[in-house]
Amino acid sequence: MKKNWFIIIAGLFMVIGLAACGSSNEDAKSGNEEAGETLVMGTSADYPPFEYIDSAQGEEIIGFDVDIANYIAKELGYNVEIKDMDFSGLITALSSERVDFVLAGMTPTDERKENVDFSDIYYSANHMILSSKDNEMVKPEDLDGAKVGVQLGSIQEDKANELKDSGIDMEIITLNRIPELIQELKSGRYDAIIIEDTVAKGYLESNDDLSGENLPNTEEAGSAVAFPKDSELTKEFNEVIKEMKDNGKMDELIEKWFGQETVK
């Protein structure tokens, strides 16, 4: 009888041991899945609503691009670490492999394509002239003889130089951050600035003394994700960007951050 009890007890310990091993294996598997590979995202957190810090809510970088990065990373099984830097240094950060990708409302110009690869366009916007209501500038011709501020390394800097080359005699001044441009404009040290219209919208809503007008007859400036040359991430991100456009997620985020539907 004692022998039978011994066999039964030994059997129970074996069952418990196997269950414990199975549980440990599942926990290990779950831990590996949760760990994931971390991708470093480069951005310039001075560009609301694309990426910025709302000091009233904390020091976390939030925005349209951040939501896109987090969604894509989750779909692909990655984690995301965000590095904030000047916009003009983002391409260099990619080339030197200090970041894995850049999401910063960046337009894939021919010059940039020489150094990095780009995803498909995920959002399109236009250039806007911002000026004081006391000295409104609504047409490119109004910029003749003016001091015009643009963000260093931005597509708006290219646009300003294009206008100058067309015969508009203006002084172009570059700064690293959008808030700095707004401050210089409001102080009267600049006559106008050129920034993206979706970014300008937020500043116009909170500054009654400013006026904005889209540059007429200008091509759409599209935003795309930038990667180091020949990165495998380009294809992976493109697949999810297409899914986001097809399943309505991109429209949902555009509505959240811009309050409008995307134009397809």
Residue 95's identity, in one-letter code, is: S
34-38, 112-116, 212-216, 218-222 — which one is most confidently predicted on average? 112-116
pLDDT bucket at 155, cuts 50 / 70 / 90: confident
Q: Which domains does the chain have, with CATH numbers?
A: 36-124+221-258 (3.40.190.10), 127-214 (3.40.190.10)
| Helices and strands in the chain: count of H runs, count of E runs | 9, 14
Catalogue the E-assigned strands of the chain. 37-43, 46-47, 51-53, 61-62, 78-84, 101-106, 116-118, 123-125, 127-132, 147-151, 171-175, 192-196, 210-214, 221-228
Do the Cβ atoms of 109 and 138 come closer than 8 Å? no
Comparing 194 with 58, the larger pLDDT belongs to 194
pLDDT at 5 over 70: no
pTM confidence score: 0.68
| Structural contact between residues 223 and 68, judged by C-beta atoms closer than 8 angstroms | no
* Model confidence at 15: pLDDT above 80: no
Q: What is the per-residue pLDDT across 221-264, written as a single tens digit (0 to 9) for each?
A: 689 999 999 999 999 999 999 999 999 999 999 989 987 443 32
Q: What is the mean pLDDT of the chain?
A: 85
- Tens of pLDDT along 87-103? 999 999 999 999 999 99
Q: Which tokens go with 145?
A: 């003889």
Rounded Cα gap, residues 78 and 75, in angstroms: 8
pLDDT tens digits for 179-220? 999 999 999 999 999 998 888 988 999 999 999 999 875 555
Quick one: pLDDT at residue 221? 66
Q: What is the pLDDT of residue 10?
A: 47
Task: Place 14 in a pLDDT band, splitting at 50, 70 and 90.
Answer: very low
Please determine, for residue 135, whether its predicted confidence score (pLDDT) is greater than 60: yes
For residues 76 and 119, what is the distance between their CA atoms, to the nearest angstrom?
A: 15
Burial class (CB in 10 A: 0-12, 13-18, 19+), 173: middle
- The predicted structure's pLDDT at residue 255: 86
Q: How far apart are alpha carbons 129 and 148 in whole angstroms? A: 9
Three-state DSSP at 147 gives strand
64-76 and 233-247 helices, crossing angle to 10°: 110
Question: 92: Cβ–Cβ under 8 A, 6 or more apart, which residues?
Answer: none
**pLDDT for 244:** 97
Q: What is the pLDDT of residue 124?
A: 86
Burial of 243 (0-12, 13-18, 19+ CB in 10 A): middle
